[in-house]
Amino acid sequence: MTVKRRGKAMEQAVLDKHLVLDRQLCFAVYATAHAFTRAYKPLLDPLGLTYPQYLVMLVLWEKGEVPVKAIGQSLDLDSGTLSPLLKRLEQAGLITRLRDVNDERQVLVRVTAKGLALKQQAAGVLGAIGKAIGCDSDEIDALRQRLHDLRAQLQSSQDG
């Protein structure tokens, strides 16, 4: 009886430890993502952009004109997320959306002059993030690389 109860207690302890440890990495990523979004907010508010909208604009600033599909592949987002988001960017006058004449399924997203103008502001402001995370470039790059690998591993284990 006492033996049995000690056994149960130990099982509980092992289970607890397992759950707590298990939680740590995923939660660390989860909480850090939110911390990043919150850190960006005061910087992006003056530009009238949310953080996901800013990510989309980064893609567009780099590539000029891109089909929705390609934006989705860059950011790992689907049309359920992008369609309304792009509609808001269009309404804000930062982008245009036009059906591709060569393939009417596709919608080509293009930055407007107003959208391009934002790029300068974004660059000026976003050095602040670099300072916020303490700019040891090598360390940052190592961390980025690890996260990239981790994400690849998670995604590959999804398919298998």
Partner DNA sequence: CAAAATTATATTGCGCGCAATTAAATTGTT
Partner DNA sequence: AACAATTTAATTGCGCGCAATATAATTTTG
Binding residues (CB under 8 A) for a copy of itself: these are 15-16, 18-20, 22-40, 51, 55, 58, 61-62, 75-76, 119-120, 122-123, 126-127, 129-134, 139-141, 143-144, 146-148, 150-151, 153-155, 157-158
Q: Is 58 in the site for DNA (CB under 7 A)?
A: no
Select 83 or 145, whichever has its Cβ closest to a copy of itself. 145
| 51-63 helix and 79-91 helix, angle to the nearest 10 degrees | 80
Q: How many C-beta atoms lie closer than 10 Å to residue 31's C-beta?
A: 10
115 interacts with DNA by CB under 7 A: no
Query: For a copy of itself, which is the closer residue by CB, 31 or 98?
Result: 31
According to CB under 7 A, which residues from 78 to 97 bind DNA? 78-88, 97
Instruction: Give the neighbor-by-neighbor strand order of the sheet with 65-67.
Output: 65-67, 107-111, 95-99
- From the list a copy of itself, DNA, none, pick the one residue 122 interacts with, judged by a Cβ distance below 5 to 8 Å according to partner type: a copy of itself
Beta 107-111 vs 65-67: how paired, if at all? antiparallel
Binding residues for DNA, total number by CB under 7 A: 33
Q: Residue 76, exposed/middle/buried by CB under 10 A (0-12, 13-18, 19+)?
A: exposed
> Which DSSP category does 105 fall into?
T
Strand partners, 98: 108
Of 106 and 121, nearer to DNA (C-beta) is 106
User: Is residue 38 a contact residue for DNA (CB under 7 A)?
Assistant: yes
Q: Among 74, 96, 106, 112, which residue sits at the site for DNA (rule: CB under 7 A)? A: 106
Q: Compute φ and ψ for 133, nearest 5 degrees.
A: -100, 5
Supply the minimum distance, in Å, between the C-beta of residue 124 and DNA.
Answer: 22
